Amino acid sequence: MGIVALFYLSVRLGNVQIFSPGGYQIYANFDNISGIKSGDAVEIAGVDVGRVTNLALVNGRARLTMWLRDSVKVDKGAVASVRSRGIIGDKYIAIALGPSDKLLANGDTLRQTESSFVLEDAIGQLINNAGSNAGKGKE
């Protein structure tokens, strides 16, 4: 009984699926997917609908492979965004459905994406802008 309980906890805590439900893969290309890793959630309207399965660099852009459940339909006008839970929380992919009647099929690419917001880059720009404006004050 203890071995069965240990096995169950290992599977649940490790987010491992023994019997995978049906699904399909779609792709999305991003300029920056900082913080995203394989296994991260894919959500629509805050509901977990799939997982990130692969990350690759293709022609200088990040190419993300996402597995979605068969019951989830994504249209060609949808937008995929890299989001964060809180200021320094886990990253995930949020898909906002679009107005198109045409649906993505297995192997299709989601064309519209919004890259990751990198807090360090924003702080660096703020400091650089403040530094360059400080020297212009007294002439």
In a domain, 28, yes or no: yes
In a domain, 139, yes or no: no
In a domain, 138, yes or no: no
Quote the pTM value. 0.71
Q: Which of 2-11, 24-33, 52-61, 108-117 has the lowest mean pLDDT?
A: 2-11
In a domain, 7, yes or no: no
| HEC assignment per residue over the chain | CHHHHHHHHHHHHCCCCCCCCCEEEEEEEECCCCCCCCCCEEEECCEEEEEEEEEEEECCEEEEEEEEECCCCCECCCEEEEEECCCCCCEEEEEECCCCCCECCCCCEECEEECCCCHHHHHHHHHHHHHHHHCCCCC
The whole domain housing 94 covers: 22-122
pLDDT tens string 48-85: 999 999 999 999 999 999 999 999 999 999 999 999 88
Share of the chain above pLDDT 90, in %: 53
In one letter, which amino acid is 25?
Q
User: Residue 34 and residue 20: Cα distance in Å, rounded?
Assistant: 28
What torsion, rounded to 10 degrees, do the Cα atoms 85, 86, 88, 91 define?
A: 20
In a domain, 15, yes or no: no
In a domain, 129, yes or no: no
Q: Domain total for the chain? A: 1
Q: What strand order describes the sheet that includes 79-84? A: 109-110, 23-30, 61-69, 47-58, 41-44, 91-96, 79-84, 112-114
